[in-house]
Structure 1
């Protein structure tokens, strides 16, 4: 089977967009002629408007002399490789064209060429997701790995049954929509540049080369992509290399060391750190909350576990250009303001993090706080993280490890996490070391069984992910390190930017500078230093 290509002819340069440019022909007279009859059907564009279809370009010989033809890779070329690993192709089964959709993802503009990404969609059984990613990832000239797996709304696609090009493909029960970049993006670029005259293939009517699929260029890499679900509502999967995943699992193991032998190991669930950081990597705006007034007879009553971890996460999120806010108790605003100011002065934070409080004065307070005008479709934050934050127990009170009720010192920030579960697209994480922290409701049964006083102190409010550490600060440091690992992972970086533009390698030094270390003054914030091996392992990777 020959490799399929999308053909675009016109007075144009190739747009900097995901479809790989496999070949550029020279004008007529300088080499081989552009394809005039090799596509089953062509489209003609005049000043950006499609004015008809043609089965041949022979009548435009003179015009083609001044044009250059671009050949863009096509996902049809990888379907043999997909079938070979046992992944069913629903469009083959249903004897129809694939579905193609316009997205709201802008490509990088080049001169007058600008457009949004066009994607193909194939319904893939959930248990075959890793197989289809592994089969397509090496085939760079055929678009490579998917750019999105899950809910089409995250790409701005509202209705899968109404594709912009091609035919609707019916999924089977248990299928997940998987999206690849599409060569029809080039058609959109041609249309948007409003060239006086241009020709393209008609979507689905590709130019088939003499190059065999098995002889096509393969991206030689030892990396193996791994797929993980990071959200059920909306359904969303992410991708990272096996190497990155293994490093993050090592971090999770390191922070799970229990220095007080309190039974923390029984609360740990594998890959909670990984899923938290994959979700954070996709987030644009993050809310962090901390504060546990366990020393109720002191002023201030806060312990020093929590704020340093919060600052470490905020620093890395800032370096990744995400919006970050910190929410704490009203009575602790001055303390946290001073911590943030010191972090900026010492260079831990690039800029001050906005500091907010939440009082929960009315029934709709939480939704109004989290969403613009309380509109569930306009959340202000994509991810909420609680680190060493007092969590509400089943009886509505808040307890320290000694079963002392500290409710009078705690603002009802739990309400934000409860409300977040009702907002599609908002994910929550709890980081704790004893089971009485906000978000640890996810492991409350283990807390009641294995933690001293767990039957009373266990937090009842659960988060989507529960990161358990021997000391909560370690969990915050691990999140910062894991975010660095993910964003320096080539496979994850490409998936994160939807294959648009170039790898963000120029920002690696900035991310590395945001990694937590004792040399930055974290020891001045707390007496709980991160395990040396945690930071050393990641810092060695920056070399």
Structure 2
């Protein structure tokens, strides 16, 4: 050991970081033990070896803290729990002493920070009744991602990693109750999928990121103001990527207000003799995929390749063109997947439907639209989201009766609020969508239009035959236009002909390839445009995609930010919310009983868009269920 000290201490000069990268853990711990390293963190040291967070508590709290770790395994992957007074950790290191082998410690008295310490030897007597927890650390995966060409900015800048308290609550146990702490590493946009694939299998070191994109989603106001560690400077092409952090354990210690507790100082880890798991993507049971779901604010989501493939199959299934309208020209790949991912993250969703194509009848509505909207709403409700429907004021009575009947017959399990939109002034849309008309507090995260009449470039609303039906349509389009200027609100349009709300995203293709498209094309776009042979099928597909996403282990973990336990017990509830032949048959009967007609033919019969329910729509529903289940 003396030779190591001579070789690396350099007297009182700072030890070279690059030389510390290749130093064996035992030698590094020796330098730390004899106070020969004057660094502020262990990032990049003994590259390729596992580093751990450390929490030391009185033995009376140990069982509850272990349960707290199990309940929040993302931030607190437990690698070893010592016996009371055990200063070594045989599974992790051959020659170590937890009293001396961290760069710096923190002491907490009754939950209050009582100062930093370079060692704990003076507290040996009290430590005899205390238990040490060794928890996985994200420093352990840094060398693995560097090998794949992903720059680690905090290592490059020789700074501690950035750490932030979030607004995400952990699952509490006993006296332990705190919010999640995360680390942030800026990652080049073109390396996002690489870093996610590399870290997803590394559950001992926090696994995959819990958030990618704007810190707003985590309740973090300013990335330049860290709660622990240093601000790390991103490069222009970088995206903020957040991992669950073991410093959550420090916050847990503060919350329990133990008379005495110790932790490592954030960034000053215990370095073990255990080599990091040399995990490649091929070893992962499920391979993750990364997709951008919003640009305002920036937001990416994660899903397994298997789940993504299922949803892409759903998109292909509903993309058939039974009316030979030429809708394949309107298709944009992955719109169903991205829209469903965005909806999966949403807490509150507003759905609109209603296309009064039969202007000579009362009611003028068609059977395409409401079933797809209700199928989506049922799944969103099952997933615990707030859902409301907005429609034309003249059709409130009709839609109330339809929703009441759907509730009575078990198609819906929970009542759906029904709204109408009145435009009194230029701020009406903002007032409707946001609390007190404040764009910073939107009431809805996502707006969805399912077979909703959309405004054309001349300000009118047209059915497929170029007949103007503006007198029957309220300007709900303006909600979608206003949403473009409200940060955090995303929109989806579902259509089958190009004249539906949201199809403005593909209006040039509509004008070129759809009959009468130069006149009827909707001019109002949406963030995502889902094209289906019948719009109801698009609604069914979204409901199925939401089920697939929430039963996907990779996506589900990302949704809950790796805290708490999986919601697998709710799988049966979600499955019962899926569209089924029985439920859609009941709903179509309800529509017909209220005088709602088939879109293409005007028949008051069991058909949608001129296609018989039996053998056409029933086959489609079964295909979607087969792919999903």
TM bin (shorter chain): over 0.9
**Aligned residue pairs, count:** 542
Equivalent position of 1:466 in the other structure: 529
Alignment partner, residue 291 of structure 1: 354
Unaligned runs of 5+ in 2: 1-47, 90-95, 592-605
1:123-148 Cα distance to aligned partner (Å, 9 max, x none): 00001000000000010000000000
Shift of 1:34: 6.5
1:57-76 correspondence runs (5 A)? 57-76=120-139
Which residue does 2:22 correspond to in 1? none
Query: Secondary structure at 2:543's aligned position in 1?
Result: helix
Shift in Å, 1:157: 0.9
- The answer to whether the 8 Å contact 1:28/1:34 transfers is no
Structure 2: distance between partners of 1:217 and 1:311: 43
Look up the match of 2:36. Answer: none
Alpha-carbon distance in 2 for matches of 1:451, 1:141 = 54
Q: Residue 354 of structure 2 contacts residue 370 of structure 2 at CA under 8 Å; is this kept in 1?
A: yes
Partner of 2:516: 453
Task: Summarize the Cα distance change of 1:473–1:128 in structure 2 as closer, same or farther, 3 Å threshold.
Answer: same
Who is 1:323 aligned against? 386
Q: CA deviation at 1:538?
A: 3.4
Matched, 1:55 2:118: yes
Compared with structure 1, are the counterparts of its residues 469 and 541 closer, same or farther at alpha carbon in structure 2 (3 Å cutoff)?
closer
TM-score by length of 1: 0.97
Residues 1:493 and 2:550 are matched in the alignment? no
Match of residue 478, structure 2, among 412, 415, 423:
415
Q: Kindly provide the CA deviation profile for residues 193-230 of structure 1, in whole angstroms up to 9, marking residues without a partner as x.
A: 11100000001100111101136899954211000000
Q: Could you tell me which residue of structure 2 aligns to residue 27 of structure 1?
A: 84
Choose from 38, 56, 69 the match for 1:9: 56
Quick one: distance in 1 between partners of 2:556 and 2:373?
Answer: 24
- Whole-angstrom distance in 1 between the partners of 2:534 and 2:157: 55
Which has more radius of gyration?
Answer: 2
Paired with 2:501 and 2:281, the residues of 1 have a C-alpha distance of 47
Partner of 2:607: 527
Q: 1:505 to 1:27 in 2, by over 3 A?
A: same
Q: Kindly indicate whether the alpha-carbon contact (under 8 Å) linking 1:139 and 1:219 is maintained by their aligned counterparts in 2.
A: no
Specify the SS of the correspondent of 2:122.
Answer: helix
Is residue 293–residue 301 contact of structure 1 (8 Å, CA) maintained in 2?
Answer: yes
CA contact (8 A) 1:255 1:531 kept: no
Change (3 A) 1:457 1:87: same
1:65–1:104 distance in 2 versus 1, CA, 3 Å: same
Aligned pair in 2 of structure 1 residues 537, 228: CA closer, same or farther (>3 Å)?
same
Check the 8 A contact 1:251/1:534 in 2, yes or no: no
- 2:462 is matched with 399
State the distance in 2 between where 1:34 and 1:342 align: 69
Are the aligned partners of 1:485 and 1:538 in contact in 2 as well (CA < 8 Å)? no
Q: Distance in 1 between matches of 2:147 and 2:510?
A: 47
Give unpaired runs (5+ residues) of structure 1.
none
Deviations 1:338-393 (A, max 9, x none): 11112111111101101111121221111111001101111100000000000000
**1:48–1:190 CA contact under 8 A, matched in 2:** yes
Shift of 1:161: 1.3
Contact 1:474 1:531 in 2 (8 A): no
What is the CA deviation profile of residues 268-289 of structure 1, one whole-angstrom value per residue up to 9, with x for unaligned ones? 1000000110000000000000
2:545, 2:106 → 1: CA distance? Answer: 48
**Alignment pair present for 1:538 and 2:625:** yes
Secondary structure of 1:121's partner?
strand
Q: Partner residue of 1:131?
A: 194
Structure 1 position 159, deviation (Å): 1.0
Q: What's the TM-score once normalised by structure 2's chain length?
A: 0.84
Answering whether residue 311 of structure 2 is matched by residue 254 of structure 1, we say no
SS at structure 2 position matched to 1:166: coil
Match of 1:308 in 2: 371
- Please give the root-mean-square deviation of Cα atoms over the aligned residues, in Å: 1.7
